[in-house]
Amino acid sequence: MIRFRIGHVTATLIQETVDKSFDFLKFFPQADAELRDENLSWMAPGHYDPATGRMLLSMHSWLLDTGRHKILIDGCVGNDKDRPGRPDWCNLQTPFLDRLALAGATPEQIDYVLCTHLHADHVGWNTRLIGDRWVPTFRNAKYVFSKTENDYWAARYAADAKNHHILGYVDSVLPVIEAGQAMIVDDYAEIADCLSIEPAPGHTPGHVAIWLKSKEEYAVMTGDILHHPIQVKYPQWSCFGCIDQTLSARTRRSVLEATCERRALLLPGHFMAPHAGYVDEGVGGGFALRWAE
């Protein structure tokens, strides 16, 4: 089990699956084969498959145990979700909840669910299918969504109901709101006495970074601010799915700078093992990732 300690808080990785569907050079439009190959010595085979040219992305949540609260950060893809635009996400059947229980939390014990943003691969386990209805998986939890993010997807839903992220909003966000369990917050909200939510736009308009502080130690959960460790070295590389690639790169650099300054543990949403690390100053305007043990 992958577990880290930040002050009084433990952060445990709850893995759902590994996504191998994205071609590296298509995923990062600013990348090129030469720079990719310069980094193969550390990327392959754990973060990149040379045989297919595809990147490896861990689909996981972070479970935080503060001693007072159990908090889930991001909800992966989920089971039984219809995602025709993403076959690797479609109608999954994974033992995610069993893994959550092994890590020390049943669905009923989760106090908060925080979503860095509302893409389909970060909200899926917000709900599960009971009969023909989507119901909140964590019945005692408050689900924390950025107001900016929710407003954006609510407007998109009214205009385009077939996009796979819209499908995620329909089956994994709206049922939570309708059940009265949503906690829609403004910028810089504070949760559970140890978490602060800071705007981190670019990948989506309302994407947030979730900062944890305990006993003067810091961690940051970055969702899709970073998809792959190569972006620590090249923060200017935004992925094809970023709504505003220039803003996304600017946000990424800012968060990496803050992570470095605070000596915070970086807990990304998709890095493969060892999944977390520390950020140091690098060369050429980038940063260096030092994996956590």
Note the pLDDT tens digit of each residue in 216-251: 999 999 999 999 999 999 999 999 999 999 999 999
The enclosing H or E element of 40 equals helix 40-43
Question: Which CA distances in Å does 248 have to 123, 155, 204?
Answer: 20, 21, 8
Q: Is pLDDT at 288 greater than 80 in this prediction?
A: yes
pLDDT (mean) for 135-141: 98
How confident is the model at residue 159, as a pLDDT?
Answer: 75
Confidence bin at 158 (pLDDT 50/70/90): confident
Q: Is pLDDT at 283 greater than 90 in this prediction?
A: no
How confident is the model at residue 72, as a pLDDT?
Answer: 98
pLDDT (mean) for 117-133: 97
DSSP-derived letter for residue 270 is S
How confident is the model at residue 157, as a pLDDT?
Answer: 84
pLDDT (mean) for 192-218: 97
Q: Is 75 exposed, middle or buried (0-12, 13-18, 19+ CB in 10 A)?
A: buried
Give me 243's structure tokens.
Answer: 């709504």
Average pLDDT of the chain, as a whole number: 96
What CATH number was assigned to the domain covering residues 3-291? 3.60.15.10
Q: Is 118 exposed, middle or buried (0-12, 13-18, 19+ CB in 10 A)?
A: buried
Domain boundary assignment for the chain: 3-291
- 40-44 long-range contacts (CB < 8 A, ≥24 apart) are 43/229, 43/230
pLDDT (mean) for 50-57: 97
- What residue type is assigned to position 154 of the chain? A
How confident is the model at residue 230, as a pLDDT?
Answer: 97
pTM: 0.96
Confidence bin at 163 (pLDDT 50/70/90): confident
How confident is the model at residue 285, as a pLDDT?
Answer: 77
Q: Is pLDDT at 166 greater than 80 in this prediction?
A: yes
- Half-sphere exposure (CA, 13 Å, Cβ side) for 55? 23
116 versus 159: which is more confidently predicted? 116
How confident is the model at residue 11, as a pLDDT?
Answer: 98
